[in-house]
């Protein structure tokens, strides 16, 4: 080998100014992508949630006495079927809000035990269709397609017979306690009610 061969020649250093600019641009792009990812994840929440539906619902006592028909939904925050139906229920509530009452009753709240026993709630979501005077017209259990719910609500509003009365779909199993429990403080207390 000759002393002038490329093996022995020192490596040409890259322009330090060019390397700094490149590294600076990479850092800026990485920061921008990180910020976009964080903001995207924060705003990716569903437009409807069970909590929002519950907050917007009419109290059962008011619904029974205000002269409008009502849809009562028994649900739980842990119920995957209830969560899946929440966006459709929110749209139906907006569509029919002036014509009927939407009532949400959380099965984890033992306050609703008498109603759970009265309507024999053994799976959720459990829907009870009430007439203008609070009388039970029909019940549906489980995952209901939006079109089925809309048809039932339209019939309820027009005081017609419900086309899909007694409909059943996929449910989250639930067993109502026989008597109210004394401790409501433990958020894990509903675990004994879940049946696989």
CA dihedral 149, 152, 154, 155 (to 10 degrees): 180
| Cβ atoms of residues 136 and 60 within 8 Å | no
Q: What gap in Å lies between CA 174 and CA 144, rounded to an integer?
A: 17
Residues 159, 139 contacting (CB under 8 angstroms): no
Backbone angles phi, psi at 12, to 5 degrees: -75, 120
- Hey, what are 32's tokens? 């921008």
Our CA dihedral for 55, 59, 60, 62, rounded to 10 degrees, sits at -150
Q: Report which of 18, 12, 91, 5 is spatially closest to residue 56, judged by C-alpha positions.
A: 91
Sheet of 136-141, strand order = 101-106, 70-75, 126-130, 136-141
DSSP bridge partners of 73: 104, 127
Instruction: Give me the active site residues, please.
Output: 79, 82
């Amino acid at each position: 080998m000759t002393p002038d061969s490329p093996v022995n020649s020192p490596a040409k250093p890259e322009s330090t100014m060019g390397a700094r600019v490149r590294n600076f641009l990479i850092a800026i792009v990485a920061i921008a992508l990180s910020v976009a990812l964080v903001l995207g994840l924060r705003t990716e929440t569903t437009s409807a949630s069970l909590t929002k539906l519950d907050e917007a619902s009419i109290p059962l006592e008011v619904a029974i006495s205000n002269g409008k028909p009502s849809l009562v939904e028994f649900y739980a925050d842990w119920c995957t079927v209830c969560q899946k139906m929440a966006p459709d229920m929110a749209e139906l509530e907006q569509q029919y809000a002036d014509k009927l009452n939407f009532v949400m009753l959380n099965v984890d709240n033992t306050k609703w035990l008498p109603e759970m026993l009265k309507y024999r709630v053994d799976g959720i979501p459990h829907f009870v269709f009430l007439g203008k005077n609070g009388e039970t017209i029909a019940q549906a259990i489980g995952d209901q397609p939006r079109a089925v719910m809309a048809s039932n609500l339209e019939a309820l509003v027009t005081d017609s017979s419900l086309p899909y009365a007694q409909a059943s779909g996929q449910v989250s199993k639930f067993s109502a306690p026989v008597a109210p429990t004394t401790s409501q403080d433990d958020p894990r207390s509903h675990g004994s009610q879940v049946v696989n």
